[in-house]
Amino acid sequence: MSFAGKYELQYQENFEPFMRALGLPEDQIQKGKDLKSISEIVQDGKKFTVTVTTGSKVVKNQFTIGEESELEMLNGEKVKAVVRMEGNNKLVTEVKGMKSVTELNGDTITYTMTMGDLTLKRVSKRI
């Protein structure tokens, strides 16, 4: 299954408490909570480039399934992580006590990030 395409954020749950837990300043959280974000995924076999544009902020991550890569987190911190594929429609990684799952179902991508008992859920549709 190919993840390739452009996706627009439809809705998100627990954005504010999750960003606070990550340590983002309140002004950034308030600015970011209502911005529509566009994710563009380019996939070449096991190589991925994921570009997320939210307002004027652009985060671009490149990784190869099963290999250690440097990824930029939502708070701007760069971390080393290995992205795994589960089945043919899930990308999973664990970083600094957080588990991130990106699941593709048809034209919808659901991005779930869990840290302790807090879960951020973002749902985007292909455009």
More reliable by pLDDT, 31 or 61: 61
Q: What is the pLDDT of residues 32-69, one digit of tens each?
A: 888 889 999 999 999 999 999 988 889 999 999 999 99
Q: Given this model, what pLDDT does residue 33 score?
A: 86
Pairing mode of beta strands 90-95, 84-86: antiparallel
Q: Given this model, what pLDDT does residue 28 score?
A: 86
Q: Give the CA distances from residue 126 to residues 3, 57, 87, in Å, rounded to whole numbers and listed in that order.
A: 10, 20, 21
Q: What is the pLDDT of residues 87-112, one digit of tens each?
A: 999 999 998 889 999 999 999 999 99
| Contact assessment for residue 118 and residue 17, using Cβ atoms and an 8 Å cutoff | yes
| Contact assessment for residue 51 and residue 69, using Cβ atoms and an 8 Å cutoff | no
Q: What is the pLDDT of residues 18-30, one digit of tens each?
A: 999 988 899 988 9
**Where do the domains of the chain lie?**
5-126
CATH architecture of structural domain 5-126: Beta Barrel (2.40)
pTM (predicted TM-score): 0.90
| Contact assessment for residue 55 and residue 35, using Cβ atoms and an 8 Å cutoff | yes
Q: Which two tokens stand for residue 9?
A: 């954020």
Q: Could you give the CA distance from residue 23 to residue 96 in angstroms, rounded to a whole number?
A: 13
